[in-house]
Structure 1
């Protein structure tokens, strides 16, 4: 008697990447590396196509214009950096005031990594004209970070949340710039200590900082 045929295995489409999906990933990974290392304008489309190993038609299928690729790059950077900031803030505990100081721990990780070249959004803003899609995306990112810090300042009970948030955002950008200008590992610690002073001065009750001596 012939044994019954085994049922065909289910196709797990969600677990298998299509060649097209892999091609897009290669383009984005290559663009991320070249844009950050060399700048948005210095990294040309032909170089990105050659180093990603995709066909030119495939590239333009996903990114009809170079700015489309730049925006995808910035979107990815936004997710990574915003995630690092939130993770650093949450690691400081539930107190919003402590989180305002703790978020500066993200500087230590960012500024010490190999190939660090500063804030990708500040770099992009310097290379893009005001009013363009790329420049507007850099502004939107900074506004989102500022709004988040302002919300934490408000929750912490700052007398002037807008002023505190602005000061901390400027300090954060300064720390990012210092990390590439002088490459001093102590810059992140100094920025954090300065943030603690700003927060303490802005609040009726200073925050409980359990990591200040790390």
Structure 2
């Protein structure tokens, strides 16, 4: 799971990074458009990805932890774009590690 945040760090450091493509597309998407449908598909996939990883790692409260990790994913994307700070990926990774450690107790 933490590798996802490592990948975000690489993405955020790219010179042309302008935020999450799906968030950017959703901002201008018309109801029922291909952009809206693609964004919904991506969001479903993202939530399922974290849920599968959380379940495979044996955490108890699958829904809560996977939702928290998605929030960190989303927040780091927004902060990296708005603040032009690729280092937020490391902060999100550290927060994810802390959530996972707390969930193991």
TM-score (norm 1): 0.47
Counterpart of 2:58 (choices 141, 157, 163) is: 157
CA–CA separation in structure 1 for the residues paired with 2:86 and 2:18 = 14
What does 1:55-204 correspond to in 2, within 5 Å? 100-204=1-105
- CA displacement 1:44-94 (0-9 Å, x = unmatched): xxxxxxxxxxxxxxxxxxxxxxxxxxxxxxxxxxxxxxxxxxxxxxxxxxx
Segments of 5+ residues of structure 2 without an aligned counterpart are none
* Deviation for aligned residue 1:102: 2.2
CA distance in 2, matches of 1:141, 1:122: 10
CA distance in 1, matches of 2:104, 2:41: 28
**Corresponding residue pairs, total:** 105
Deviating beyond 4 angstroms after TM superposition, the runs of 4 or more aligned structure 1 residues are: none
Unaligned runs of 5+ in 1: 1-99, 205-214
In the TM superposition, residue 130 of structure 1 has moved relative to its aligned partner by 3.0
**1:124 shift after superposition:** 0.5
Alpha-carbon separation, structure 1, partners of 2:103 and 2:27 = 32
